[in-house]
Amino acid sequence: MAKKANLIPSLVDNQAQAEGALAEMAALERKMIQADLDMRDICDAAKQKNVDAKKPLEARYKELETAIKKWATMNKSVLFAERKSLDLAFGVFGFKAVTAIRQMDGVSEAETLAKIKALGFADAIRLIEEVNREAMEGWTEERLALVGCIRRSSDRWHCKPKQEKAEAGA
């Protein structure tokens, strides 16, 4: 069976039509580029509008969090006598115990680094030759004292609203 002839009429039959098609393609390409630029402008404007809309919300959020923290700190002995966090209907706040490796009073970082080297505790030295406190977190108090460090615990504030309760109350 013979193949059917291509019934689609040709858009370009000569050099002048090819030139015209190329000109039209260039115009279409410019329009597509402009459409992309317009889209970027719209996206940038939407992003900026979002940033502007969020600023007062973020400021109010921070203000409320600071107010809760101030109240909780002032009433810490009553609110957190038996627990570290208070779980309320719309969220949780409290103080988390945090430990960190710090220099002992009167011991410089250079002295600690020299002691770490002398005692062969290479895991506590970073390549840029600074004290690696993360590696020292698992050390005993005695080993920390050998290099002039101590473990100090402190409370770190935390506050997290519950989204499902906030959505129901909104």
Q: 44 falls in which pLDDT band (50, 70, 90)?
A: very high
pTM confidence score: 0.51
- Mark whether 115 and 93 lie in a shared domain: yes
Residue of 97, 139, 154, 153 lying closest to 131 (CA atoms):
139
- Mark whether 49 and 105 lie in a shared domain: no
- Mark whether 90 and 66 lie in a shared domain: no
Beta strands in 4-148 (DSSP E): 85-88, 91-103
- Mark whether 70 and 89 lie in a shared domain: no
| CA gap 11, 18 in Å, rounded | 8
Sign of CA pseudo-dihedral 134, 139, 140, 141? negative
Is residue 4 situated within a structural domain?
no
Residue of 94, 41, 45 lying closest to 65 (CA atoms):
94
Is residue 146 situated within a structural domain?
yes
- Mark whether 97 and 138 lie in a shared domain: yes
pLDDT digits (tens, 9 = 90+) for 82-126: 888 889 999 999 988 888 999 999 999 999 999 999 999 989 988
Domain range enclosing 151? 85-169
| CA gap 79, 14 in Å, rounded | 88
Q: What is the Rg, in whole angstroms, of the alpha carbon atoms belonging to the chain?
A: 33
